[in-house]
Chain A
């Protein structure tokens, strides 16, 4: 029981008394006090009377159409909104997830399938040996001559049957450095290069097939025609890669590794502009029209894949910036 002389002045006390929550001792003590205290007796009586009146006060029942009005209002305020976005029996939250997944698949599938390495049938590795390595990296222009059955990449894995090499001329794969040949003639001004190479990714994809088609449509072109050799002879002859700087940033980096001749032979007589990352990887290949300018004939996407892919396997000596190189296959 409260310590105040008139506990009924406290609403908390009266509320507990009304709810029957007072301890028996407190309840008896208040009953004794109440008998002698008019103020507390009146307060307790008024409290009980007020609550009794409140409980007994009548309430009119709702109008018969109140539920219908409520439902009409709900429909009117949200005619197209269903709880949780359920429409046509489909929970749109999950429908959204499914649609997003479908979009991802639809968008990514062509990209994946167009990746050359996803579609191309990789040839068997052909053993190769490179006589001159990074020592030629400082040469402003580099030529790579590879024998018909070479693959410079797996040097350490070169098989035992590879013949011993007595000189560069006898090497099945050789990299020969040459003095620069009129680099200024090949190097266009910076703005000219920007204009020329601006559409790099698409141009690369489109330009390559042109080169490939030109190669097959002009059987008399390139070294094969000028020398009068048969196709078999041409295929067997070593492939030479003439590499020149095309960006005015100094001498071309050395070729560290290259794909086998068998794969490069089909590109004889063609020129390409390569975008090479600082790490030495070829990022983009664009067919050149043979005069240093990019080929601009529209080509199909299917032609674009193979040619560019082969040259992307070239690896150059790392440098401190990306480079643009003109590569001619001979």
Chain B
């Protein structure tokens, strides 16, 4: 039986024992957080689907959760893989069925019909910022989101994603650098 003050670890332990309601509580507790990550990482249009995918994978992977990292770090790792897999598979689809010459499998195609500059000129700079992140390589998205949105420490991110701290720092620095290159032309003189 779950209690309102059950910790995440307790909920997952109960879920592993077959308490579906415990996993339901865990989902309700973290839906907003994962959705927030996904809005930043893949955009608002796909955020719901990706949030759903993260929790489905978490449910299927309950047996692999050993409790050596906080549950939210475990969720972040699942989210990171989901983001990377999504754009990897999309790129493969484009190459096979559309003959795309896209050489960067991690890059999301730009919005059709309107470049970021056009959007910025129409005063939608905030939306453009969110869209700009979609141009980042998938490997950089969750690290940047966890660092600059969720304000996790580098060590927390490293544990969550199973990467060395130095690798995490490097990815975040490169992601930030690319973000600056994308946003600088849009934000010059009219930051939100």
Binds A, one of B79-87, B110-118, B126-134: B126-134
C-alpha gap A73/B47 in the complex (Å): 16
Question: Which residue of chain A has its CB nearest to the CB of B149?
Answer: A55
Question: Which residue of chain B has its CB nearest to the CB of A55?
Answer: B148
Shortest distance between the CB of B45 and any CB in chain A (Å): 11
* Given A66-B48, A70-B56: A59 touches B187 (CB 8 Å cut-off): no
Shortest distance between the CB of B35 and any CB in chain A (Å): 4
Binds A, one of B1-9, B67-75, B101-109, B176-184: B176-184
Binds B, one of A45-53, A95-103, A193-201: A45-53
* Given A59-B40, A70-B56, A78-B60: A15 touches B177 (CB 8 Å cut-off): yes
- Contact check, A51 vs B179: say whether CB atoms are below 8 A apart: yes
- Contact check, A66 vs B184: say whether CB atoms are below 8 A apart: no
C-alpha gap A140/B129 in the complex (Å): 104
Main secondary structure of the interface of B (DSSP, over half): helix
Q: Count A-side interface residues using an 8 Å CB cutoff.
A: 40
C-alpha gap A84/B148 in the complex (Å): 36
* Given A11-B174, A46-B187: A86 touches B51 (CB 8 Å cut-off): no
Question: Which residue of chain B has its CB nearest to the CB of A88?
Answer: B18
Shortest distance between the CB of B31 and any CB in chain A (Å): 4
* Given A51-B176, A70-B27, A70-B51: A46 touches B184 (CB 8 Å cut-off): yes
- Residues in A with CB closer than 8 Å to B36 are 59
Residue B122 is within 8 A (CB to CB) of chain A in the complex: no
Residue B172 is within 8 A (CB to CB) of chain A in the complex: yes
C-alpha gap A57/B192 in the complex (Å): 8
* Given A70-B27, A74-B55: A15 touches B176 (CB 8 Å cut-off): yes
- Contact check, B35 vs A54: say whether CB atoms are below 8 A apart: no
C-alpha gap A300/B106 in the complex (Å): 76
Interface string of B38-67 (1 = CB under 8 A from A): 011000100110011001100110110000
- Contact check, B56 vs A73: say whether CB atoms are below 8 A apart: yes
Residue A60 is within 8 A (CB to CB) of chain B in the complex: yes
- Residues in A with CB closer than 8 Å to B51 are 62, 66, 70
* Given A54-B148, A60-B39: A14 touches B177 (CB 8 Å cut-off): yes
- Residues in B with CB closer than 8 Å to A219 are none
**In residues 142-190 of chain B, which contact A (Cβ within 8 Å)?**
144, 148-149, 169-170, 172-174, 176-180, 182-184, 187-188
CB < 8 Å A-B pair total? 139
Shortest distance between the CB of B162 and any CB in chain A (Å): 21
- Contact check, A60 vs B44: say whether CB atoms are below 8 A apart: yes
- Residues in B with CB closer than 8 Å to A18 are 176
Per a CB cutoff under 8 Å, which of B18, B32, B184 touches A84?
B18
Interface string of A56-86 (1 = CB under 8 A from B): 1111111100110111011101100011101
Residue B92 is within 8 A (CB to CB) of chain A in the complex: no
Shortest distance between the CB of B107 and any CB in chain A (Å): 18
C-alpha gap A89/B14 in the complex (Å): 12
- Contact check, A46 vs B31: say whether CB atoms are below 8 A apart: no
- Contact check, A49 vs B18: say whether CB atoms are below 8 A apart: no
Residue A12 is within 8 A (CB to CB) of chain B in the complex: yes
Q: Can you report 22 residue pairs joining A to B where beta carbons are below 8 Å apart?
A: A11-B173, A11-B178, A15-B173, A46-B183, A47-B176, A49-B183, A50-B184, A53-B129, A54-B132, A55-B149, A56-B192, A57-B192, A59-B40, A60-B44, A70-B27, A70-B55, A78-B60, A82-B18, A83-B17, A83-B62, A87-B18, A89-B18
